[in-house]
Amino acid sequence: MVEDIRSILKEHGKLSVDIAGLSDDADLYQAGLTSHASVNVMLALEGKFDIEFPDRMLKRNVFESVSAIRAAIEELTGGA
Amino acid sequence: MSKANESPHVATAMRIAREVAGPQAASVDRDARFPREALDALKEARLLSAFVPKAMGGLGLGMIELSQMCEALAQHCASTGMVFAMHQIQVACLVRHANGVGFFERYLKELAAKQYLIASVTSEVGIGGEMRTSICAVEKSGDRFKLDKDASTISYGEHADDLLVTARAAPDATPNDQALVLVSKPDYSLERTGAWDTLGMRGTCSPPFKMRSTGSAERILPAPFADIASQTMVPFSHILWASCWLGISTAAVSKARAFVRNQARSKPGQTPPSAMRLAEVATQLQMMRANVHDVASECEYLMNHPESSIDVLSSVAFAVKMNNLKVSTSEAAFQIAHRCLGICGIMGYKNDSKFSIGIHMRDSMSAALMVSNDRILSTNAAMLLVLKDD
Ligand SMILES: Cc1cc2nc3c(=O)[nH]c(=O)nc-3n(C[C@H](O)[C@H](O)[C@H](O)COP(=O)(O)OP(=O)(O)OC[C@H]3O[C@@H](n4cnc5c(N)ncnc54)[C@H](O)[C@@H]3O)c2cc1C
């Protein structure tokens, strides 16, 4: 899952650094993730994992790191 | 709004609006000069610290009362209302995100005691109105910082005591990794690089400046600007700006009403045709007022319940709602003024008539540009792709 998240961030996150150089806990906003780009990341994640982020999850901190995104997806897919 | 209607502080703002801001409005507009008399009266009444908690010497007011004050002031002088609104937005950022931090706590007490006026420096040459992006950066060395900004618009820059400035958090930070810095008069210089000769909002005195500053590093707000922006700067800006635009619309409609009453009196027994246009514009004004009051009340409630509301304030749904308020009221303000012009006819078109609508049209035209509506709509367009509203 982490590899899929990372490849979506690489393609849609418009980060100013290479995602490969960031740890799972690194702050993506500090790495240049804008709110516009984060929307594209959300859309790609919803498509890839066949999920829908409910509105309560559409918050900055849910998408602030690779691990935070993984935790959110696991919550929606029942930890699968 | 019954509670705030009984507020003695709102009553004071209404009095200042009527007795001080109104009489100076024409010369403020004609000469594009700062509304000094009204600001002095607001300081005298200690309203510049309206949002500072009581324990720190302020009035401890909330969003609803601030909104009503902005509306009242703007009804009589739009520039005065807007200067007051912009100042309160800066104060709110400090109160809500830096209170309890040694330096800022001292500063807020001093602001309440001395009634300092704070200007906003977010827009930057090369970026326009995208508040969440900066080119300039804070450079820290030891316990000092240096910050230079090529600012495209600083309202009342030459009349403020302090500036609240956005910048990248460090020279190597990304454009959206920003910090908010409070710079004070002895620590900054402003080199004016252009004029402020505009259609409206002329008394806000908002030319471009090159700002240079240094200061003690404790003046950098500890909270990330991303949080300050979504939880405070954007909601306060959109609500208090909208309150000013509501004041402008109220002023235009009250001239149209007076005009129609005049017509009716000249031919009793016949409802003048313009009365139907008045009935129409009155519905739009009511909708605008309901919109502003609804969002202001919701915000006041959320801000009074910080434990449960941080999540709401930083959610996509809330951001969309705040943006809807800005876009809809800014469009309504100009449409309402335009409709009032139609009602008053040539008497509204003349600058020297008591039914003159020109100033309201010119002032309200700034609303859609003050962070461009297209920019805001494109942000909402993106957010609506993921928001389900379920
Ligand atoms: C009365 C008044 C007082 C002000 N006071 C201050 C102040 O005190 N401090 C301060 O910092 N600023 C202030 N501003 C500036 C204001 O906040 C905006 O930054 C500024 O009006 C935007 O400038 P712009 O139109 O040149 O830039 P832009 O926002 O760049 O817009 C230019 C054009 O590009 C279009 N555009 C740009 N980006 C997009 C996009 N993503 N999607 C769609 N269209 C886009 C816009 O629609 C517009 O047509 C003030 C403005 C006014 C009118």
Same domain, B200 and B232: no
Q: Ligand 1 in contact with B377 (CB < 6 A)?
A: no
Dihedral sign (CA B310, B314, B318, B322): positive
* 8 Å CB contact of B386 and A32: no
Instruction: Measure CA B331 to chain center.
Output: 16
- Along the 390 residues of chain B, how does pLDDT read in single tens digits? 444 468 999 999 999 999 999 999 999 999 999 999 999 999 999 999 999 999 999 999 999 999 999 999 999 999 999 999 999 999 999 999 997 889 999 999 999 999 999 999 999 999 988 899 999 999 999 999 999 999 999 999 999 999 999 999 999 999 999 999 999 999 999 999 999 999 999 999 999 999 999 999 999 999 989 899 999 999 999 999 999 999 999 999 999 999 999 999 999 988 999 999 999 999 999 999 999 999 999 999 999 998 888 888 888 999 999 999 999 999 999 999 999 999 999 999 999 999 999 999 999 999 999 999 999 999 999 999 999 887
| Among A32, A55, A59, beta carbon nearest to B389 | A55
So what's the pLDDT on residue A80? 52
Fill in the DSSP letter of residue B175: T
Tell me whether B383 touches chain A (CB under 8 Å). yes
Same domain, B253 and B182: no
Helix (H, G, I), strand (E, B) or coil at A71: helix
Same domain, B235 and B154: no
Same domain, B210 and B296: no
The atom number, within ligand 1, closest to the CA of B157 reads 8
**Residue A43 with chain B: CB contacts under 8 Å:** 385-386
Same domain, B229 and B363: yes
**Among B114, B132, B162, which residue terminates a domain?**
B114
Spatial CB neighbours of B139, under 8 Å, sequence gap ≥ 6: B145, B146, B147, B170, B171
Tell me whether B311 touches chain A (CB under 8 Å). yes
Same domain, B132 and B110: no
Fill in the DSSP letter of residue B277: H
Same domain, B294 and B366: yes
- B367: CA distance to ligand 1 center in Å? 10
Query: How near does any CA of chain B get to the CA of A60, in Å?
Result: 7
Same domain, B198 and B255: no
* 8 Å CB contact of B388 and A54: yes
**Closest CA to ligand 1's atom 52:** B370
Residue ranges of domains in chain A:
2-14+22-77
Spatial CB neighbours of B28, under 8 Å, sequence gap ≥ 6: B34, B35, B77, B79, B80, B202, B203
Give this prediction's pTM: 0.95
Q: Ligand 1 in contact with B129 (CB < 6 A)?
A: yes
**Among B198, B219, B240, which residue terminates a domain?**
B219
The residue in chain B having the minimum alpha-carbon distance to the alpha carbon of residue A33 is B176
Q: How far apart are the first and last CA of chain A?
A: 10
Q: Which run of H or of E encompasses B240?
A: helix B234-266
**Residue A16 with chain B: CB contacts under 8 Å:** 174
Number of structural domains (chain B) is 3
Whole-angstrom distance, CA of residue A56 vs CA of residue B40: 45
Tell me whether A18 touches chain B (CB under 8 Å). no
| Among B177, B385, B388, beta carbon nearest to A55 | B388
- Where residue B97 sits, what CATH number does that domain have? 1.10.540.10
Strand ranges of the sheet holding B118-121, from the earlier edge strand across to the other edge: B118-121, B162-168, B178-184
Fill in the DSSP letter of residue B390: -
Same domain, B75 and B101: yes
Whole-angstrom distance, CA of residue B297 vs CA of residue B318: 14
Dihedral sign (CA B358, B360, B363, B367): negative
Whole-angstrom distance, CA of residue B150 vs CA of residue B172: 18
Q: Are B125 and B191 in contact (CB under 8 A)?
A: no
Write b or e for each residue in B63-89: b if 16 or more Cβ atoms lie within 10 A of its Cβ, otherwise e.
Answer: bbbbbbbbbbbbbbbbbbbbbbbbbbb
**Is A2-14+22-77 assigned to CATH 1.10.1200.10?**
yes
Amino acid at B369: L
Whole-angstrom distance, CA of residue B183 vs CA of residue B210: 14
Query: DSSP alpha helices (H): ranges in B32-101?
Result: 36-44, 63-76, 78-98
Same domain, B58 and B148: no
Whole-angstrom distance, CA of residue B118 vs CA of residue B259: 39
**Closest CA to ligand 1's atom 19:** B129
Same domain, B101 and B135: no
* 8 Å CB contact of A60 and B230: yes
User: Which residue segment(s) compose the domain that B92 sits in?
Assistant: 3-114
**Residue B176 with chain A: CB contacts under 8 Å:** 29, 32-34
Same domain, B162 and B272: no
- B233: CA distance to ligand 1 center in Å? 16
- B261: CA distance to ligand 1 center in Å? 39
